Amino acid sequence: MNAKKTLRLNPEDNIVVAIADLPAGSAVEGEIVTRARVPRGHKTASRFIATGEPIRKFGQVIGFASTDIEPGDWVHEKNVTMGEDFDRDYAFASEARPPEGPRTDETPAFFEGYKRADGRAGTRNYIGILSSVNCSATVVDYVADEINRSGILDDYPGIDGIVPLPHGQGCGMAGRGEAFDVLSRTQWGYASHPNFAAVLLVGLGCEVFQIPRMKDTYGIAEGDHFQSLTIQEIGGTRKAVEAGVARIREMLPFAARSKREPISASELTLALQCGGSDGYSGLTANPALGFAADMLVRQGGTAILSETPEIYGAEHLLTRRAESAEVGQKIVDLIHWWEDYTSRNGGEMNNNPSPGNKAGGLTTILEKSLGAVAKGGTSTLRGVYRYAERIDRKGFVYMDTPGYDPVAATGQVAGGANVLCFTTGRGSAYGCKPVPSIKLATNNELYARMTDDMDINCGDVIDGVPLEVKGREIFEAILAISSGKPSKSELLGYGRNEFVPWQIGAVM
Amino acid sequence: MNAKKTLRLNPEDNIVVAIADLPAGSAVEGEIVTRARVPRGHKTASRFIATGEPIRKFGQVIGFASTDIEPGDWVHEKNVTMGEDFDRDYAFASEARPPEGPRTDETPAFFEGYKRADGRAGTRNYIGILSSVNCSATVVDYVADEINRSGILDDYPGIDGIVPLPHGQGCGMAGRGEAFDVLSRTQWGYASHPNFAAVLLVGLGCEVFQIPRMKDTYGIAEGDHFQSLTIQEIGGTRKAVEAGVARIREMLPFAARSKREPISASELTLALQCGGSDGYSGLTANPALGFAADMLVRQGGTAILSETPEIYGAEHLLTRRAESAEVGQKIVDLIHWWEDYTSRNGGEMNNNPSPGNKAGGLTTILEKSLGAVAKGGTSTLRGVYRYAERIDRKGFVYMDTPGYDPVAATGQVAGGANVLCFTTGRGSAYGCKPVPSIKLATNNELYARMTDDMDINCGDVIDGVPLEVKGREIFEAILAISSGKPSKSELLGYGRNEFVPWQIGAVM
Ligand SMILES: [Ca+2]
Ligand SMILES: [Ca+2]
Ligand SMILES: [Ca+2]
Ligand SMILES: [Ca+2]
Ligand SMILES: [Ca+2]
């Protein structure tokens, strides 16, 4: 597009990023020219920065000037410090803002979705088949296969399909405690997900994860929305498949009664994901997605940032954006939980920039973590949730998850996400059911190489497409795909293997 | 069959088990009658036991007489003690015996199997498709589906099928340490399994579990036996499926060259499993399977006992049976490892009989754990292996696994098990690929209720079928099914969902 050699990530930034190797004397912005060589991916000052002043990237603090920095200077380790106590000062809620609402140039946004009995909105109209334990996974698959083979779904064009969600857990675990609670929340989050018109839960019978107990815990009554059966009670695999098929057939007319209707974008809950990041992630797709997330939040919708190991080191930026000290403290608590979790499993939390990261232009842990945080935009943090916990606040929220893609997304979907955006630089093939997943390529080369898997190319941000324009494109795609347009991973049929609940405890 | 009301589990036992409530004065064995009421499932003395003498069940010590016990006495807490130091005395190798060889009434046994290039024997002739990470699970499924749909397998009747083995791990983990090693051993164990004529390994590309590193670790050269590809390198989902299908098509003529031929039963490696145990497990299916395991060991074959949480408390009986102090010490070490593993994950090891167990007739932790250990027979312990480690000793061996069925079996199969026997009382629907699984019902009612899932009924042991006769029936079934007769779970098609590697570490 144009020949711009630097990228401005936020209007408030006092640096821009070189998107090519810049010899000394290269044009930066306005009158400014580089005063030294600035390697590709590195930062140059876009105005004078006095000693001690914060360096801002993505509009957020990534460090402080350790010396006066002139416009056009290369900004890196020699003139940036993390500041004495900045990373120990949570400054809870110091940057919180009241909810904004749409800007004057923005009109209320809608999508075509399904209104569910519990008040939430669906973006798809599936019937789900869950397994309480790996021991019933194959029956779950077979019920779905037999319904699909029967051709009966041809009579129900308003049903998007049957989604079997086998998994590897459900027994060989303690019947109480953290690991059990995580699995319970995940199963209930899926069983009650607004993208399912109805759900069948199949168990073996003697597993630790008991269906009657789950029904009791969440007050689930069997009926049109929810049915269950166990292989042991019903007399084996064949009879369980037959019974499951019969139950699904009974659910079809009920499920087919759901119709799409216009619903405010405030009912969208967007899961933010990244996987297979590269040097472009923090420059193109992540900040573009951040713009889209901010747009959705202004529309009254919800955006969920997650992947705690990848935001580690930038948590005190989230505490500043928290709406209250209580919300901020939850971020601090989960960081401490993670330090314990990794250390008692023989690992450690460490998101420090590696020598390779530094060579690529990442100066501080803040800057590295912000590359991931950027996809959450800049809105005030309204809530912090445990893995798979039901999201009950609008606006920008945080859910604790691992960074591992299928596990992270499973938690967000269990929490109620009804649309998902996934940025990738190396090329992820991820796709989810029952929630449409929109994949954003961080670079042109990936988009060209894996076009069948990629929904949106954000690589052209480097060619001059403004981040805000790209953000609007993503937001429009969110509305269109939430309204029924299939995403690339849906066209490919992904989602039967990608339900992976977080296994936290000992397998016994 | 007959009206016997007690069950003798081993010729050396000084107790028998009541298989019905016995009023005082009921016939026991020979002249002996019960001297008090003996509830169903409880023990009565079949001869005089002096104070301090061991109580033997399954031929093994379950405790000591705390007072003189008369023939026909009810043997339970009031007259049994665990002994002062018995459970702290490992008495390494004190009961080890030299290898026995077939008894005079036993002839050398054979099965029809596949001789593989590495010297091991296969019981099936599959082509496997493995995924390095969950991110390539769907491609793995699609390649198998497309080959199956194409009908090309009709031209290769000598190939048992295409086995896709997706799973949930492979990224979001440390690239070194215990968890990584466990996954590596598991993947390599499957990739090199003698039941696969050839294997295709599909990756995403950027995952922690790198295919090139695995090839390097195990010295794998690509060729007829092993091929790999990554989705990122090849350009996305569609191209990866196409390429995978092409690779499998190339493998078919090679795989079809393998033919069954008579092979000594010494090349069988039997995985011992139980799941959904009940009050009959320790009386019928487990000891019957123990007889079969002993027969196989006498034939020079291998039997793998596993499921450490379920043998906990009986480990000092295994240390006595160990062939050497080194082998015995490995049992002790892994018990300590488990105590640490569960405690750092907020749980504990505890296999003590519950009040319900005691009411059912289980007096001591030894007796409870021996119910599970019984399926390993009485042979000398020749080796102790880590999860998924290659079994390189013949005879009776131990592999450390959790008790959770799919995870336990996955480790045993990775170690080289080529046939599996699974006892169940509540009714398991488990089935494995690539290894045939033989399911043994512990009671008549289960066998009748889940006949489609059960291969052998051991419930008739209660009706008078001697354990040794039942053991011989199991041994014959092992030979027949290893020779190609399909097991019930194979007829049902199980195995695509049941590959569940043990996830030990933190998910990050
Ligand atoms: Ca990420
Ligand atoms: Ca991720
Ligand atoms: Ca068991
Ligand atoms: Ca088990
Ligand atoms: Ca599957």
| Cis peptide, bond prior to residue A466, ω within 30 of zero | no
C-alpha distances in angstroms, A441 versus A447, A495, B139?
6, 20, 20
pLDDT band at B3 (very low <50, low <70, confident <90, very high): low
**CA–CA separation, B115 vs A314, rounded Å?**
57
Q: Is the ipTM value over 0.90, yes or no? A: yes
Cβ–Cβ contacts within 10 Å for residue B291, how many? 24
Could you tell me if A206 lies within 8 Å of chain B, comparing CB atoms?
yes
H-run or E-run covering A438 = strand A437-441
Distance spanning both ends of chain A, measured CA to CA: 58
Whether B309 sits inside 8 A of A508 (CB atoms) is: yes
Domain ranges of chain A: 1-84, 126-256, 262-492
Token pair for A490: 């849906």
* Residues 6 or more apart in contact with residue B384 via CB below 8 angstroms: B322, B327, B330, B331, B334, B397, B398, B399, B400
Give the model confidence (pLDDT) of B301-329 as tens digits: 999 999 999 999 889 889 999 999 999 99
Q: Which DSSP string corresponds to B115-140? A: E-TTS-EES--EEEEEESSGGGHHHH
Whether A452 sits inside 8 A of B138 (CB atoms) is: no
What protein residues have CB closer than 5 angstroms to ion ligand 2? A 275, 403, 405
Portion of chain B with pLDDT greater than 90, in percent: 89
Query: Is residue B31 packed enough to be buried (19+ CB in 10 Å), middle (13-18) or exposed (0-12)?
Result: exposed
Query: Which of chain B's residues have a Cβ under 8 Å away from the Cβ of A339?
Result: none
**CA–CA separation, A322 vs A327, rounded Å?**
6
Q: Is the pLDDT of residue B89 over 90?
A: no
Q: Which amino acid is at B66?
A: S
Cβ–Cβ contacts within 10 Å for residue A392, how many? 11
H-run or E-run covering A295 = helix A285-298
The overall average pLDDT reported for chain B is 95
Residue A150 backbone phi and psi in degrees, to 5: -65, -20
Q: Which amino acid is at B376?
A: G
Nearest CA in chain B to A498: B134
Window B:381-420, CB contacts with A under 8 Å: 402-407
**CA–CA separation, B478 vs B420, rounded Å?**
8
Nearest CA in chain B to A502: B507
pLDDT band at B2 (very low <50, low <70, confident <90, very high): very low
Window A:462-501, CB contacts with B under 8 Å: 492-494, 496-498, 500
Token pair for B80: 């049994």
Token pair for A248: 């699904």
Sign of CA dihedral A185, A190, A195, A196: negative
Low-confidence residues in chain A, pLDDT < 70:
1-3, 84
Whether A492 sits inside 8 A of B238 (CB atoms) is: yes
- State the architecture of A1-84 in CATH terms: Roll (2.30)
Give the model confidence (pLDDT) of B104-134 as tens digits: 999 999 999 999 999 999 999 999 999 999 9
Q: What is the CATH number of domain B1-86?
A: 2.30.130.110
Q: Is the pLDDT of residue B375 over 90?
A: yes
Nearest CA in chain A to B238: A452
pLDDT of residue A2: 45
User: Residue B172 region, left (φ>0) first, then alpha (ψ -120 to 50), else beta?
Assistant: left
Residue A425 CA to ligand 1 centre (angstroms):
10
Residue A94 C-alpha, separation from nearest chain B C-alpha, in angstroms: 30
Q: Is the pLDDT of residue B256 over 60?
A: yes
pLDDT of residue B32: 94
A211-218 vs A178-191: helix axis angle to the nearest 10? 80
**CA–CA separation, A42 vs A19, rounded Å?**
8
**In this predicted structure, which of B81-85, B246-250, B289-293 has the lowest mean pLDDT?**
B81-85
pLDDT of residue A245: 98
**CA–CA separation, A490 vs A20, rounded Å?**
36
Q: Which of B139, B237, B507 sits opposite A407 (nearest CB)?
A: B507
Cβ–Cβ contacts within 10 Å for residue B18, how many? 23
User: Residue B493 region, left (φ>0) first, then alpha (ψ -120 to 50), else beta?
Assistant: left
Token pair 């049994």 is found at B80
pLDDT of residue A3: 62
Residue B141 C-alpha, separation from nearest chain A C-alpha, in angstroms: 9
What protein residues have CB closer than 5 angstroms to ion ligand 3? B 274, 310
B126-256 carries CATH number 1.10.3470: no
**CA–CA separation, B246 vs A1, rounded Å?**
40
Sign of CA dihedral B485, B491, B495, B498: negative
As beta bridge partners, residue B437 has: B420
Q: Is the pLDDT of residue B1 over 70?
A: no
Q: Which of A174, A235, A430 sits opposite B135 (nearest CB)?
A: A430
Whether B171 sits inside 8 A of A404 (CB atoms) is: yes
B178-191 vs B405-414: helix axis angle to the nearest 10? 60
Token pair for A237: 């695999």
**CA–CA separation, B39 vs B201, rounded Å?**
55
Give the model confidence (pLDDT) of B397-440 as tens digits: 999 999 999 999 999 999 999 999 999 999 999 999 999 999 99
B137-150 vs B237-256: helix axis angle to the nearest 10? 50
As beta bridge partners, residue B202 has: B131, B229
Residue A172 CA to ligand 4 centre (angstroms):
8
Q: Which of B408, B422, B418 is nearest to B501 (CA)?
A: B408
